[in-house]
Amino acid sequence: MAFEFTDANFETEANKGVSLIDFWAEWCGPCHIIAPHIEALSQEYSGKVKVGKLDVDHNPNIAMKYGIRSIPTVLVLKDGEVFDKHVGVASKAQLAQKIEAALSA
């Protein structure tokens, strides 16, 4: 199951190693399209990458900090710094490529 990032836990959970964060909201149709990809990646990269979701309606501070204006937006962080960003629907393969790039950088 994908990790649930929140305003309260984000700084401690996303500051080391590689993290993939899906910024989403319940009312967002495209967010539901990529949700299965996020779940699958969380299982495939378990123990290597923290893959999770952040509900922008319930956690506005982190969304504001990273300038999230459209959802879904997926950020790949490496040691707390933005490594890559994708706005809109993405395939599982596209997201996996971003993870692999961060892991090998």
Catalytic residues: 28, 31
DSSP the chain: --EE--TTTHHHHSSSSEEEEEEE-TT-HHHHHHHHHHHHHHHHTTTTEEEEEEETTT-HHHHHHTT--SSSEEEEEETTEEEEEEES---HHHHHHHHHHHHH-
For residue 96, which phi and psi values (nearest 5 degrees)? -65, -40
For residue 89, which phi and psi values (nearest 5 degrees)? -70, 140
